[in-house]
Homo-oligomer: A and B are copies of this chain.
Amino acid sequence: MAHHEHRASREELYLASAQAHRPHASTDEILEWLAERHRVNDYQVSTMPLADLRGWTVEPETGNLRHESGRFFSVEGVDVATDFGPRSAWKQPIINQPEIGIVGFVTQEIDGVLHFLVQAKMEPGNVNYVQLSPTVQATHSNYTGVHGGTRTPYVEYFLDSNRARVLVNQLQSEQGTRFFRKRNRNMIVRVPSDDRLELRDNYHWVTLHQLGQLSDIDNVVNMDSRSVLSAIRFVSFGEPGWVPEAQGTTFSTAVFESSIAPDSAANHEFESVVAWFADMRARYRLSASLVPLKYVQDWHYDGVSISHRDGRDFSVVGVDVVAAGREVGSWQQPLIDSAEGGVVAFVCQRQSGVLHLLVQALVEPGTLDIVELAPTVQCLSGGRQGPQEGLRPVFYDLVCEAGPQQIRYDRLQSEEGGRFYHDQNRYLVVEVDERDALEIPENYCWVTIRQLKEFVRFNNCVNIEARSLIACVGTSAGVAW
């Protein structure tokens, strides 16, 4: 690593990019370009029986679904026991993908403003085929070239420290209800201004300001992008932060202020939040181990799909993909088809003038270390009607019955289209009045966004749903400030 020099800090670069009112291209242009990339590449995705998937097989001995090469991922069973939540023990299918991939943005200063290189990426599970992904979204086999196949464009900037400076490199978890301890490296690298980086088809430069605007539209900024963007911080380690003189009247300034708030302005000192989190990991038990899928009761494989006998939660289906713009022109693969109606929401409240989020310590089957910090409400398997009364999570009703004057964010966002079929969840932020004293269960805690981002930095502390949602509302923070 190079010795520290005096230079514009990464926080200053991010802030300027978030406030860039004269971006390289307008946001409408980005949307038009995205639509055009969709038109140009003739994408076709159709569902098909698992038994007919080329290259994939359900192993007779185990019932596991895997690729004949042993690559990509497999669908296996997981045997879960926990004292968290209403169910104490169950088995379910889960995706096993032990390799650590890279999801990362190449950035570069253009006309003095940091721009992010986004990709118009088709993923077979996306409802709208093409969304904005990070510059690179590559499995370990992808970027080490084990597959043969085309080398992932721009990946050299992430692998060769002479080509770019690393701004962010964090190990982050993915959906703990669907993946068994899956993680990716979330990266942002900065390429020197004089590097004449070739702009390929399907790639475009955008500012953080634009990414913020695009996050405010349904299903444009994909899950991996949101995950990486959650690492953006506007105040550096060991900086006291500040509360701007004119306290935020708009929600976006309140978000920004919560992102830079000094610890003294927080409801709980950071050390107390750390203590609460340690308590949660000591308080709950989680035992989870992979088992052959054929031993998972109530789930069956009928040649077409793997599904629960009550049609519950999700099923595993096959898709046939034809696409011009990808490394491989056409392929077939399994995807997870989840029940509709998922709700992911943060309840927030201004406390002594500073916006706080109510985080939940949540146990999920695929969590590496017992609990991670999750949104206030994370309800992914309720079905279109939502969960039955009596089975609704705490704060579910509060969130779903919130009036328009309380709703600060409400968009459909997609989970990763490379693994999930038409999986959109409703992402919400609901603000409760400063005078409302909510009753807080032991596994919930009020934190500032700055405090939450401190946890993001350390792997397996903040789950993908929480990171995704803070990216949605936080990326353009400071825009209006």
Using a CB–CB cutoff of 8 Å, the interface residues on chain A facing chain B are: 1, 3-4, 10, 100, 166-171, 185, 236-241, 262-264, 266-272, 274-276, 278-279, 281-282, 368-369, 445, 450, 454-455, 457-461
Contact = CB atoms under 8 A, between A and B. Distances in A.
- Which of A3, A100, A238, A460 has the most CB atoms of chain B within a 10 A radius of its CB? A238
A271 B269 CA distance: 22
A176 to B, nearest CB: 15
Number of copies of this kind of chain in the complex: 2
B170 A274 contact: yes
Nearest to A445: B1
Contact of A166 (B166, B167, B272): B272
Contact of A3 (B241, B263, B264, B267): B267
A274 B169 CA distance: 7
A355 to B, nearest CB: 16
A238 B267 contact: no
A236 B240 CA distance: 10
A450 to B, nearest CB: 8
B171 A237 contact: no
- Which of A268, A271, A458, A460 has the most CB atoms of chain B within a 10 A radius of its CB? A271
A62 to B, nearest CB: 18
A1 B271 CA distance: 12
Contact of A1 (B262, B272, B281, B282): B272
A44 to B, nearest CB: 35
- Which of A241, A278, A450 has the most CB atoms of chain B within a 10 A radius of its CB? A278
Contacts of A238: 238-241, 262-263, 270, 450
A5 to B, nearest CB: 10
A268 B3 CA distance: 6
Contacts of A455: 458
Contact of A271 (B167, B262, B270, B461): B167
Contacts of A267: 3-4
Contact of A278 (B169, B274, B278): B169
Nearest to A170: B278
A457 B277 CA distance: 11
Contacts of A271: 10, 167-168, 236-237, 457
Chain A to chain B: the 4 pairs with minimum beta-carbon distance, closest first: A169-B275, A237-B270, A458-B458, A171-B278
A369 B170 CA distance: 14
A271 B281 CA distance: 25
Contacts of A236: 263, 269-271
